[in-house]
Amino acid sequence: MNKLFQELNQFPWQKSFEDDCTGEWKQKWFLDGALAKVENTPEGMIFSAGPNPKANDSHAVLWTSQSFKGDVKINFTFTRLEDIPDFVNILYIQATGKGTPPFSENITEWNDLRKVAAMNAYYDNMRLLHISYAANTGSHHPDNNRDYVRARLYPRDPTGKFQDTELEPSCTDSGLFKKDIPYVFTCIKTNEDLVLRIEGDGKDKYFRWDISKIKVPDSGRIGIRHMCTRVGLYKNVSIWEN
For the cut 90, the answer to whether the pLDDT of residue 216 exceeds it is yes
pLDDT tens for residues 75-108?
999 999 998 888 999 999 999 999 999 999 999 9
Bridge partners, 197 (sequence order) = 186, 206
Nearest 10 degrees: Cα torsion 240, 95, 148, 202: 20
Model confidence pLDDT, tens digit, residues 160-211 = 999 899 999 988 888 899 999 999 999 999 999 999 999 999 999 999 999 9
Does the pLDDT of residue 137 top 60, yes or no? Answer: no
Of the pLDDT bands very low, low, confident and very high (cuts 50, 70, 90), residue 235 is very high
**Residue 124 has what pLDDT?**
97
Query: Cα–Cα distances in Å, from 17 out to 2, 27, 47, 65, 109?
Result: 25, 12, 19, 10, 22
Distance set, CA 140 to CA 13, 72, 145, 217 (Å): 43, 36, 9, 33
Mean pLDDT of 18-34: 98
d(CA 74, CA 72): 7
The confidence band for 1, taking pLDDT boundaries of 50, 70 and 90, is confident
The pLDDT of residue 183 is 98
- In percent, how much of the chain has pLDDT > 70? 96
Class in CATH terms, 2-241 = mainly beta
pLDDT over 90 percentage in the chain = 87
Residue 139's pLDDT band, with cuts at 50, 70 and 90, is very low
Amino acid symbol at 93: I
Q: Residue 154's closest CA among 61, 53, 66?
A: 61
Q: Give the pLDDT confidence score for residue 147 in this predicted structure.
A: 82
Distance CA 131, CA 139 (A): 22
- Distance between CA 236 and CA 62 in Å, rounded? 15
Per-residue pLDDT at 33 exceeds 90: yes
120-129 per-position pLDDT tens digit: 999 999 999 9
pLDDT at 144: 53
Is the predicted pLDDT of residue 149 greater than 70, yes or no? Answer: yes
Q: What is the pTM of this model?
A: 0.95
158: left (phi over 0), alpha (psi -120 to 50) or beta: alpha
